[in-house]
Amino acid sequence: MIKRALISVSDKTGIVEFAKALAALGVDIVSTGGTAAALNGAGVPTTEVQDLTGFPECLDGRVKTLHPKIHGGLLAVRSNEGHMEQMRANGVGMIDLVVVNLYPFKKTIERPGATLAEAIENIDIGGPAMLRSAAKNYQDVMVIVDPGDYAQALDAIARMAGGGADDACPASGVTDGGCSTSGGADGGSLAGGVNVGCSTSGGADNGSTATKTAAPESLNFRLAVKAFEHTASYDALIASHLGAAMQREAYFPDKLTLTFEKKQQMRYGENPHQGAAFYADPIPQRGSLATYTQLHGKELSYNNIGDLDGALSLLAEFDRPAVVAVKHANPCGAAVADDIYSAWTGAYESDKMSIYGGIIAANRTIDARVAAEIRKIFIEIVAAPGFDDEALKILSRKKNIRLLAIDPPAAPLAAPPTAPPAAPPAAPRGAADRAVGGAGSEVANGAADGAAGGPTSGPTSGATNVSTGGPMYMKKVGGGLLLQTNDNIVADMYNIKVVTEKKPTDIELADMSFAMAVVKHTKSNAIVLAKGNATTGVGPGQNSRIMAAKIAIEVAGDRAKSSVAASDAFFPMDDCVEAFAAAGVTAIIQPGGSVNDAESIEACNRHGIAMVFTGIRHFRH
């Protein structure tokens, strides 16, 4: 049974009640600092750690529990007579239960303006050491890191304390098996008591020997695993934060340690025969998927979350009222306008067929007028910063629709111009100092004579083209993980290169900026047609660029006439230009950089189409 517990917690939720229950069961409690003060103040008899160790807390509390009388009491294997003899010789008593959660490092670094010194001061040292010691010796020591586990632990401890010799072992009710015991001079100490088949024999001091076979499903083992997960996550967050502070550019450490927190256990994954769960960043960015609040409907599925992530990523490009529609992680409609209803109309009109069963995301509050239109069709999810009361009432009548409130991101990535500008349209926010292939790039310089350089020109050449900083994008592959900086630019519209005889109009430039933002979030090979700051056709995820172009043209139909076309990568030949010309497209924006750029430029000149090169490729796979 459990005779002595060490309690030291930052999160004091439920700790007084738990400690009182332990004390009522005859458990001696050892504690530190603020926890000891809280327990003593509540009338719980508590021994200070320094009274147990005979060594005072020092260095402003940095050294409290790093002492042999603590870690010896945790690490001693009760079934090892050699360990027991050393414990007796050194006057070290057993510690059977450790209740510890760590300094609030996460809360510290979440606080605006938190300094590096403050973060470092909130790195716990003694806590993780105790957790690891207790978890390593789980057969003899119970370890608790989560207040949510107090109830089941207390139930097990109470059953041990109240049970007889025959049921002291399976006290948690988690396992079964035979258990024979013989009392020692002081009653002994058996931590956990949740193992299948154990025999105990009492020692002569505060510590019994025990021979037990640990069951992997035992309560102690599960709590030990949870403790190791807790310390691993804690250390990963520290390493990540300090690593980011060390590097001003993209940080790719030699050893990558990541931590995420489970937000949702799912019914199944991408397909019904696959299991799945959604894990969130411990400190998610504002406006990210992990910050949603569900207002209506059943829980999100694996595919819902994938599609919603694509919708929110595209939505983050715009600061004007915008609506995007996504199906199977590809945009099927997007529009920006002066009001959210007009943006909804533009997105819906883009592809009325594909939007069916899709995801809708908006960056403004959904009002009753928009809600009434959405209600007419089958939509899986509507995500927005909010819904007015009438809109929520209208949409909630649909049983299967999911309504999510998600704050917009703090800083949109791109902002298509609000009106046809007199000068080149406003570049994506922050793009001027991040652009690949700006005024001094190979694409811009090589295009002066009508071609975008030679075979090595374009967005893929030169280490200086690598964007740095910002959040990371991860992709799991067999045997490893790919990590890259996010594609956080669209196009520097002040430094694009007009490579054709015909120059684009201001209206076309505005549509080009918008279309390039959408194509950036479309699976490659991708083509997007747009007009009036709304998509008219999207051709996603094709093995050949001409097929992507044909799909976009087919979706657009008659609306392709006077549209602009955006491509995520260069044209390997002039067939896309020919297709656009036949459909009535008037302007093209693309990265450039093909050895056959001259052919595409010549075809544009022949058909009177304006074309610009950005020098920025946007592959997305």
Q: Which one from 12, 20, 136, 398 is the annotated catalytic residue?
A: 136
Q: What is the mean pLDDT of residues 244-257?
A: 68
Q: Cα–Cα distance between 56 and 64 in angstroms, integer? A: 7
Query: Confidence class of residue 431 from pLDDT cuts 50, 70 and 90?
Result: very low
- In this predicted structure, the answer to whether residue 436 has a pLDDT above a threshold of 60 is no
> Model confidence over 261-289: pLDDT tens digits?
888 898 899 889 999 999 888 777 777 78
Please give the sequence-ordered ranges of beta strands (E in DSSP) within 432-502, or none if there are none.
Answer: 472-477, 480-485, 497-498
Q: Tokens representing 193? A: 């008591």
- Is 106 an annotated catalytic residue? no
Tell me if 285-405 shares its fold with 442-461+490-613. yes
Q: Decide if 32 contacts 218 (C-beta within 8 A).
A: no
Which one from 12, 296, 328, 398 is the annotated catalytic residue? 328
Burial class, 349, CB count within 10 angstroms (exposed 0-12 / middle 13-18 / buried 19+): middle
> Using an 8 Å Cβ cutoff, are 564 and 590 in contact?
no
Burial class (CB in 10 A: 0-12, 13-18, 19+), 427: buried
**In this predicted model, which residue has the larger pLDDT, 471 or 527?**
527
CATH label, 4-222, candidates 1.10.150.120, 3.40.50.1380, 3.90.180.10, 3.10.150.10: 3.40.50.1380
Mapping DSSP to helix (H, G, I), strand (E, B) and coil, where does residue 279 land? strand
> Was domain 285-405 assigned CATH 2.30.30.90?
no
pLDDT tens digits for range 130-176: 898 888 888 888 899 999 888 888 888 888 766 433 333 333 333 33
Across the chain, what does the average pLDDT equal? 78
* Range among 130-139, 454-463, 562-571 with highest mean pLDDT value: 562-571
Q: How confident is the model at residue 249 (pLDDT cuts 50, 70, 90)?
A: low
**Topology of domain 442-461+490-613, CATH:** Cytidine Deaminase; domain 2 (3.40.140)
Tell me how far apart the alpha carbons of residues 387 and 362 are, in angstroms, rounded to a whole number. Answer: 11
pTM over 0.75: no
Strand order in the sheet with 142-144: 47-48, 28-31, 4-9, 97-101, 142-144
Whether the Cβ atoms of residue 615 and residue 458 lie closer than 8 Å to each other: yes
Strands 47-48 and 97-101: what pairing? unpaired
Half-sphere exposure of 179 (CA within 13 A, CB side): 26
328 belongs to the catalytic site: yes
Domain boundaries, the chain: 4-222, 285-405, 442-461+490-613
Q: What does DSSP assign to residue 137?
A: T
Neighbours of 463 (CB within 10 A): 5
